[in-house]
Amino acid sequence: MKLPRKLHIKSYGCQMNVYDAQRMVDTLGPHGFVDTASPDEADLVILNTCHIREKASEKVYSELGRLRVMKAEAARQGRRMNIAVAGCVAQAEGSEIIHRAPVVDVVVGPQSYHHLPELLARAEKDGHALETEFPAEDKFAFLPPPKPDVIRSRGISSFVTIQEGCDKFCTFCVVPYTRGAEVSRPVAKIVDDVKRLADHGVREITLIGQNVNAYHGEGLDGRTWPLGTLLQHLAGIPGIIRLRYSTSHPCDVDETLIEAHRDIPAVMPFVHLPVQSGSDRILAAMNRKHTTGDYRRAIDRFRAVGQHIAFSSDFIVGFPGETEEDFRATLALVTQIGYAGAYSFKYSPRPGTPAAEMREIVSAEEMDERLARLQELIDSQQSAFNKASIGTIVDVLFERAARNPGQIVGRTAYLQPAHVMAPEAIIGQVLPVRIESLERYSLLGELAAPLPTLAAAPGTQPVINPSDTRMGA
C-alpha cells in the first residue's frame, strides 16, 4: 500500500487564509496527504502568504531560505520535498517568486488552490508550475467538503467564506488586486456548508469576507440577499448557537444588518468595523468613501438597537500626508467611540497601489511614536472593557480543554477568552459564568449554574438565554 504523503501548511495574515488553509487540507486529503506539524518531515510544504504589508510578504522569503535547507536535507535522504507558495504574495508576484527562490515548485493564487493536485503533478513532471489567473469557474464548486472527523477535530467554532474580493480600492490596499473583484457565494451553498458543520458539532460560525457586509448572494427565493437576511436564515439551522461576521466596511452597513442585531439573539453583539483614520482629509486621500461623521452614524445605528454592542476597528498611522493634527483627530475618534479592542498598523507602501506613489512620506520615527500613542489608548480602553466584566455574569461558549488541567476555556460574546474549572462535557455549550478576575486578556471565573442543570440538558443547544449583564465599552 502507498504510504500517506505528509503535508505542512504555514499560514500568514488574515482569517481568510486560515480558512483557505483548511480547504487546501480538504482538497489534498483525497490525494493521500495527511497533516504534519513538522515541516522537515513533510513531502509538501505550503506557505499560504499575505501581501497586505511589506513585513508580511518579506517573511515568506526568509521562510523559503529555511525551507531550502530542509529540501536539500530531504533530497540527501532520497526524498522529494515539494514547496508551494499560495495566497496573496503568490498572486501579486507570480513567477518573480520562482526567480527569486528557485526552490519553489508551485505558485498558486488564492482563486486556484482547488487546482493544487494538478499543479503538483505538473511540477513533478516539468520542474515548476504556476497558476495565478482568476479562473472562470468558482473554486468553491470544486472543493471537497471536510470529512466529519476532520470537522470534529477542528473544534466547535468555524469560519465560512461567504464573499471574496473587494471593489472599494482604498488607495493603500492590495486586496482588490490580489483577491480580485467582489464575489458573493449563493445562499444555498453557504447553507449546505453550515448545516454540515453543525451536524458534526460546530456551534459557532464566523462568516468571513474581505468586505463581508457587502454580501449580495443569490438567495433561496432567487432574489439577492444581503448579509442581514443571510444571518437570519442561518440562525434557524439546528445546532448553530452563535453567528459572527468579519470584516465590515462602514459604507455597507444596511438596515438588514442592524435588524439582525436587533432581532436575532445568535448574532453576537461585537462588530469589527474598521475606520482607518479619524481625519476626514486622510480618509479622502485613502479613498475610503466615508467620513468620520458617516462612521459615527453607523456606530450610532448599531447602538440604537443594542447598547451592549461593542466595537473593534483597524487603524493605519502614518499614511502619506498625515499631520500631527490628523493623528490627533484619530485619537479623538477613538476616545469618542470607546473600543473593546482594535488593530493598529504603521502604513506600509504596497507596490502598484496609488498611495505608494504619494510623496508626503511620514518619517519612521513619527510613525513609531504615533503607533505607540494610539496603542496605549486602545490598550487602556480594552483593559477597561475587560475589567468591567469582573463581578458580572456573562455567557460563555466553551471550546476546549485549557492548558491547566481541569480548566475549560471558552469565549464570551465579545471574544474574550474565559476560563473555568469544569468537566469537558460543557464543551459546545453556552453557560453563564461569574467572572472573578482578569489575567492579562483572559477572564477567570466559575460556572454560575450548578452542574446537575447541565446534566439535565443533554445535547448541545444551550438552555440559558443571553445574560448580557455587562455593557459595551
Q: Which residues bind ligand SF4 (CB under 6 A)?
A: 166, 168-170, 173, 175-176, 210-211, 249
Task: Name the residue nearer to ligand SAM (CB basis): 202 or 371.
Answer: 371
Q: Are strands 430-439 and 183-184 parallel, antiparallel or unpaired?
A: unpaired
For ligand SAM, give the closer residue by CB, 291 or 460: 291
Residue 21 partner contact from ligand SAM, ligand SF4, none using kind-dependent CB cut-offs of 5 to 8 Å: none
Q: What x/- string results for residues 216 through 255 when contact with ligand SAM is judged by CB under 6 A?
A: -------------------------------x-x------
DSSP class of residue 211?
T
Site string for ligand SAM, 38-57 (x = CB under 6 A): --------------xx----
CB of 242 to ligand SF4, least distance (A): 24
Say which residues have a Cβ less than 8 Å from residue 5's Cβ, sequence separation at least 6: 31, 32, 33, 34, 43, 44
Residue 121 CA: distances (Å) to CA of 67, 141, 326, 463: 20, 21, 53, 51
Longest dimension (CA), the chain: 69
Minimum CB separation from ligand SF4 for residue 211, in Å? 5
Piece in contact with ligand SAM (CB under 6 A), picked from 169-177, 324-332, 432-440, 465-473 = 169-177
Half-sphere exposure of 42 (CA within 13 A, CB side): 23
Helix (H) or strand (E) holding 468: none
**314 touches ligand SAM by CB under 6 A:** yes
169 binds, among ligand SF4, ligand SAM, none (CB under 5 to 8 A by kind): ligand SF4
Q: Find the shortest distance in angstroms from Cβ 33 to ligand SAM.
A: 28
What residues between 321 and 350 interact with ligand SAM by CB under 6 A? 345, 347-348, 350
Classify burial at 323, counting beta carbons within 10 Å of its beta carbon; exposed 0-12, middle 13-18, buried 19 or more: middle
Under the criterion CB under 6 A, does residue 316 sit at the interface with ligand SAM?
yes
Pinpoint the alpha helices (H) of 127-209.
Answer: 148-153, 175-178, 187-199
The rounded distance, in Å, linking the Cα atoms of 9 and 86 is 10
C-alpha dihedral (287, 289, 295, 299), degrees to nearest 10? -120
Count other C-beta atoms under 10 Å from residue 137's C-beta.
11
Round to whole Å and give the CA distance between 226 and 215. Answer: 6
- The interface region with ligand SAM, picked from 167-175, 220-228, 292-300, 389-397 by CB under 6 A, is 167-175
CB of 56 to ligand SF4, least distance (A): 14
Residue with Cβ nearer ligand SAM (208 or 426): 208
- Residue from the set 217, 228, 239, 274 that interacts with ligand SAM by CB under 6 A: 274
Q: How does DSSP classify residue 115?
A: G
Q: Return residues touching ligand SAM (CB under 6 A).
A: 14, 52-53, 172-173, 175, 210-211, 247, 249, 274, 276, 314, 316, 345, 347-348, 350
